[in-house]
Structure 1
Amino acid sequence: MRRRDFLSSTLPIVGGILLLEYQHADAATVSRSILEFGAKPDGKTLNTSSIQHAIDAVSQAGGGTVVVPAGTFLSGLIELKSKVNLNLAEGSTLLGSSSIYDYKFASNPSAHNGPNPHHLIFAMNADDVTISGTGTIDGQGSSFWEPSDKASPAEDWAGVASHDLAPKKSGRPSPLLLFVNCRHLAVQDVHIQNSPGWTLHAINSDSVSIRGITIKNPVNGPNTDGIDITGCQNVTISNCSIETGDDAICLKSQNPFGPEPRLVKDVSITNCHLSTCCNGFKIGTETEGGFENITFSDSVVFNCEVPYKERVIAGVALEIVDGGWIDGVIVKNIKMQRSRTPIFIRLGNRKRVHDYPQHGIRNVDIDNVQASEALVPSSISGLPGMEIRSVTLSHMSLQDSLRGSSDLVKRPVPEKDTAYPESRMFGMLPASGLYVRHVRDLHLNEVTFTAPSGESRPTLVFDDVVGARLSEIRSSPISGRMPVLLQNNSSDVQILKKAG
């Protein structure tokens, strides 16, 4: 006699309580293989319905694990449910279909009212959702791309490898993995590759843990962001490795599923390795609301010895251009190699969707960044009447490997208040190390700038800077007669302690 039958026949059941408690305990251990539901690991049979039936069965049992065993399982869109762990076993591959028509909701098309309803894995309004295991999710991205008609820039340092391709007009699944309004979301250990667009996106979700995952997309893959976090709170991203063709980790503020964006806050990103031809860690570009208490730490942003257009555009990019705000960002212990620009901080005025009084950038603390083989100087730039406030750079070493012309010192730097923000946007700058404009309350402490031999530009250029404190600033020799610091329309700039 089975234990369930024995308990049912020998113990009294009062009001069904015993039966319900037993079902809850049993459900917690439910584990079903997708093979039980007819899935075939041949890489050719479309297994969407088999995988979805397995998820639905486990969900209806109260939760548990859906196992994708070793083998290659072709699939279209599947929807995860509360308390379901999709476990990709070692040697397994969940292979996204190469046909856009396979990425559609079978039972509830209205479940997704966002800008693009095509995804491989989707969850909305779900609690305790997990993707785990050491298997692979492959989006077959190249099936959804075609050559682009974008013209290459005149300067080779300004090119972007992923601009060589564009999405096909028929569409693509993007994000490959999308989670909306979820709580206690965990993605851990899996390998994700060849995403057709954004790879993993969490929107308006709380208690998000992304740990130990690997993302590997082609460097020329268009819009293949690694991890995007929009309107989420209490987020931890740790021990991840990302190689891709767009921003590696990007925080955004907008709400494609509602009227106003949620505050992005309490986000910790640590111990990650990031490589791309766009930005390593970025806040922006969609910045309609706020970002508070954000930390990016103990990570590496790098490129191998590759052409300029395949290198990171900015190692750290902090951008507010849509009426939102940054208040409280810490960047610390970051090693950069061959990032074209180490630090890019930009306050612009592209649009203002909501009229929030907190608008702006303030309280940014960047400490212990070691950057080598940069091409374009770092910059901190606001706008007249929209100044960036309270920025501190400490214990940093910024090494530039591309010598600039002395003519750049006299070239006016355009404001470009409504332009898309990117460290390439102003062209080559009049400073060799750091260009600062429209900033209040700036602190530089123990920062070393190294330029190539023969560099004739000033190391630092301040334009409309009020209230700057400099301590122990070191610079390599400057060819010609330019000073280390060139000031325009600036005041209350003090050198507190000269470099020893």
Structure 2
Amino acid sequence: MQINILTHHPFEALHQNATKVIQAAIDRCFAAGGGEVVVPGAGTYMIDGIQLKSHVTLRLEAGAVLKGTGDETRYIKRPGPFELIKNQTPITGLITATGATDIAIVGAGTIDGHYEAFIYPHQGNEQHLKFYHYPRPMTVYLEACTHVKISGVTIQNAPFWTVHLVGCEDTEIDAIKIHNEMRMPNTDGIDVDRSKHTKIHDCEIVTGDDAICPKCTEETAQYGDCTDLTVTRCTLITRSSAVKFGSSSFGNFENCQFSDLVIRDTNRGIAFQLRDPGSARHISFRNISIKTKTFTKEWWGSGEPIYVTLAPRDRATDLTGQVIEAIQFENVTCEAGNGIFVYADGGTVRDLTFKNVKLALTRPFSTTTQFDLRPNEVPETVTADHIGLNVDSTSHVTCEDVTLTDCDGAKIQY
């Protein structure tokens, strides 16, 4: 079954709010055993919360824009807690699905999260926009779904996390563009939260917060670990980390591969920011270009191209037995204002391999620098009297054909 939402409703009637018509079309396809809901490229359709259902594809044609109204009370609500058990705050989503199978969002159209509705007005050139509350609506929120596809669409102007996959299995995200306001906090591109068998490829992500972020949030423990993630042929630009494991790490991350990525104008390149009792194992990064750029202090990071840290979130966090191990960096080229940083406090970092890694520093090796450990209660920063390859004494790193150069032409080889 295919339903074109303009068949019985003129665009002018849907422009102000198309929620009921789109939801009714989804429900009708679902009742019929599956189908496709087509949103023609007639312009902008304002929507409140929409819930996808099994065996239904939402197709956005070129020129079609689904834009959130900004009235969060009319979005789809999930009760709290959120991220941490102590946070009983509920979350909402603009386009959501729970427990669905064989669902898709495809086409050449656009989903607009309307972030402007959630920030204070008249902020001028403020580099870290101030917002009304935390959390704000997810633009696409999918929980416990299987056989998911998101392809071709542009998702823009998210007020919070853009695409959040919670406990999903067998997801493919390909050829999408995420274009968010880079000054907007918490606008993660794709959060892979305790999901399995996720493929992300040929995407472009430009956002304020982490571009691709594997997570294991505390309240989603029923979904287990985050495993079998593959990311390839993507361009990532962000004021936070291009790829970040954590900081919610209440489960394990295993068997993940990243390859053929272009990372530029980014506060951090590749980051392990584990702050909770979880581990990361068997993760590889190959054929990656990284150029970092520091921003204001509100954005975590200090321009590190590669950042591997395992540290307690607070004094009550017990990291006994937790590890970051069997991590490979191969054919990675970096241009950065800070060095590679490896640090462990309370857990163990071991079996890191750097092979054919080139780092060109835009400052001298002798530069005194501070490495940012947030979110970490004590200490928040670690000071080093040099930059380059900074590894604490407890971690085990193997280097093969690693070359570091600084802005004065000095060279270090491993």
Equivalent of 1:430 in 377, 381, 385? 385
Question: How many angstroms apart in 1 are the aligned matches of 2:49 and 2:378?
Answer: 34
Equivalent of 2:4 in 5, 9, 33? 33
Unaligned runs of 5+ in 1: 1-29, 150-160, 304-311, 454-475, 479-483, 485-497
- In the other structure, the counterpart of 1:49 is 20
How far residue 402 of structure 1 moved from its aligned partner, in angstroms, is 2.5
- In the other structure, the counterpart of 1:184 is 147
- Aligned pair in 2 of structure 1 residues 184, 39: CA closer, same or farther (>3 Å)? farther
Question: How many angstroms apart in 2 are the aligned matches of 1:421 and 1:212?
Answer: 41
Equivalent of 1:85 in 57, 69, 82? 57
Residue 477 (structure 1) aligned with residue 395 (structure 2): no
Q: Deviations over 1:350-378 (max 9, x none)?
A: 15999797521111111111112x11211
| Contact in 2 for aligned 1:138/1:194 (Cα 8 Å) | yes
Partner-residue secondary structure (3-state), 1:51 = helix
Question: How many angstroms apart in 2 are the aligned matches of 1:402 and 1:37?
Answer: 63
Residue 403 (structure 1) aligned with residue 364 (structure 2): yes
| Contact in 1 for aligned 2:366/2:386 (Cα 8 Å) | no
Question: How many angstroms apart in 1 are the aligned matches of 2:276 and 2:241?
Answer: 19
Partner-residue secondary structure (3-state), 2:382 = coil
Question: How many angstroms apart in 2 are the aligned matches of 1:421 and 1:51?
Answer: 50
Residue 164 (structure 1) aligned with residue 128 (structure 2): yes
Partner-residue secondary structure (3-state), 1:56 = helix
How far residue 477 of structure 1 moved from its aligned partner, in angstroms, is 2.5
How far residue 195 of structure 1 moved from its aligned partner, in angstroms, is 0.7
How many residues end up aligned between the 2 structures? 397
Question: How many angstroms apart in 1 are the aligned matches of 2:22 and 2:31?
Answer: 14
How far residue 232 of structure 1 moved from its aligned partner, in angstroms, is 0.4
Residue 103 (structure 1) aligned with residue 75 (structure 2): yes
Q: Which amino acid aligns with 1:447?
A: V
- Aligned pair in 2 of structure 1 residues 345, 148: CA closer, same or farther (>3 Å)? farther
| Contact in 2 for aligned 1:213/1:239 (Cα 8 Å) | yes
Query: Comparing 92-101 with 287-296, which one deviates more in the overlay?
Result: 92-101
Question: How many angstroms apart in 1 are the aligned matches of 2:226 and 2:330?
Answer: 22
How far residue 296 of structure 1 moved from its aligned partner, in angstroms, is 1.0
Question: How many angstroms apart in 1 are the aligned matches of 2:333 and 2:318?
Answer: 38
Equivalent of 2:38 in 67, 84, 88? 67
Residue 322 (structure 1) aligned with residue 285 (structure 2): no
Question: How many angstroms apart in 1 are the aligned matches of 2:381 and 2:15?
Answer: 45
- Aligned pair in 2 of structure 1 residues 344, 296: CA closer, same or farther (>3 Å)? same
How far residue 419 of structure 1 moved from its aligned partner, in angstroms, is 1.0
- Aligned pair in 2 of structure 1 residues 162, 377: CA closer, same or farther (>3 Å)? farther
Unaligned runs of 5+ in 2: 83-88, 294-302
- In the other structure, the counterpart of 2:182 is 219
Q: Which amino acid aligns with 2:247?
A: T
Higher relative CO (Cα under 8 Å, sequence separation at least 6) belongs to 2
| Contact in 1 for aligned 2:91/2:135 (Cα 8 Å) | no
Partner-residue secondary structure (3-state), 2:11 = coil
Partner-residue secondary structure (3-state), 1:46 = coil
Q: Which amino acid aligns with 1:67?
A: V
| Contact in 2 for aligned 1:301/1:315 (Cα 8 Å) | yes
Partner-residue secondary structure (3-state), 2:386 = coil
Equivalent of 1:235 in 191, 198, 215? 198
- In the other structure, the counterpart of 2:228 is 266
Partner-residue secondary structure (3-state), 1:332 = strand
Partner-residue secondary structure (3-state), 2:6 = helix
- Aligned pair in 2 of structure 1 residues 53, 279: CA closer, same or farther (>3 Å)? same
- Aligned pair in 2 of structure 1 residues 168, 39: CA closer, same or farther (>3 Å)? farther
- Aligned pair in 2 of structure 1 residues 298, 416: CA closer, same or farther (>3 Å)? closer
Question: How many angstroms apart in 1 are the aligned matches of 2:163 and 2:52?
Answer: 14
Partner-residue secondary structure (3-state), 2:130 = strand
Question: How many angstroms apart in 2 are the aligned matches of 1:209 and 1:162?
Answer: 36
Q: Structure 1 residue runs of 4+, over 6 Å off?
A: 352-357, 413-418
Partner-residue secondary structure (3-state), 1:237 = strand
How far residue 39 of structure 1 moved from its aligned partner, in angstroms, is 6.6
TM-score, normalised with respect to structure 2:
0.87
Q: Which amino acid aligns with 1:431?
A: H
How far residue 101 of structure 1 moved from its aligned partner, in angstroms, is 3.0
- Aligned pair in 2 of structure 1 residues 51, 123: CA closer, same or farther (>3 Å)? same
| Contact in 2 for aligned 1:300/1:334 (Cα 8 Å) | yes
Question: How many angstroms apart in 1 are the aligned matches of 2:410 and 2:135?
Answer: 51
RMSD in angstroms over aligned alpha carbons? 3.0
Q: Deviations over 1:331-362 (max 9, x none)?
A: 11001123421100001011599979752111
- Aligned pair in 2 of structure 1 residues 172, 348: CA closer, same or farther (>3 Å)? closer
- Aligned pair in 2 of structure 1 residues 382, 445: CA closer, same or farther (>3 Å)? same
| Contact in 2 for aligned 1:386/1:438 (Cα 8 Å) | no
- Aligned pair in 2 of structure 1 residues 231, 53: CA closer, same or farther (>3 Å)? same
Identity of paired residues, percent? Answer: 29
Equivalent of 1:121 in 83, 88, 95? 95
Question: How many angstroms apart in 2 are the aligned matches of 1:250 and 1:227?
Answer: 6
- In the other structure, the counterpart of 2:29 is 58
- Aligned pair in 2 of structure 1 residues 78, 172: CA closer, same or farther (>3 Å)? farther
Partner-residue secondary structure (3-state), 1:223 = coil
Residue 443 (structure 1) aligned with residue 398 (structure 2): yes
Structure with max Cα Rg: 1
| Contact in 1 for aligned 2:263/2:288 (Cα 8 Å) | yes
| Contact in 2 for aligned 1:380/1:439 (Cα 8 Å) | no
How far residue 261 of structure 1 moved from its aligned partner, in angstroms, is 5.3
TM-score, normalised with respect to structure 1:
0.73
Equivalent of 2:247 in 282, 285, 297? 285
Partner-residue secondary structure (3-state), 1:58 = helix
Q: Which amino acid aligns with 1:230?
A: D
- In the other structure, the counterpart of 2:117 is 143
Alignment of 1:382-421 (within 5 A): 382-383=344-345, 386-403=347-364, 408=368, 419=376
Q: Which amino acid aligns with 2:38?
A: V
- In the other structure, the counterpart of 1:94 is 66
- Aligned pair in 2 of structure 1 residues 401, 361: CA closer, same or farther (>3 Å)? same
- Aligned pair in 2 of structure 1 residues 259, 269: CA closer, same or farther (>3 Å)? closer
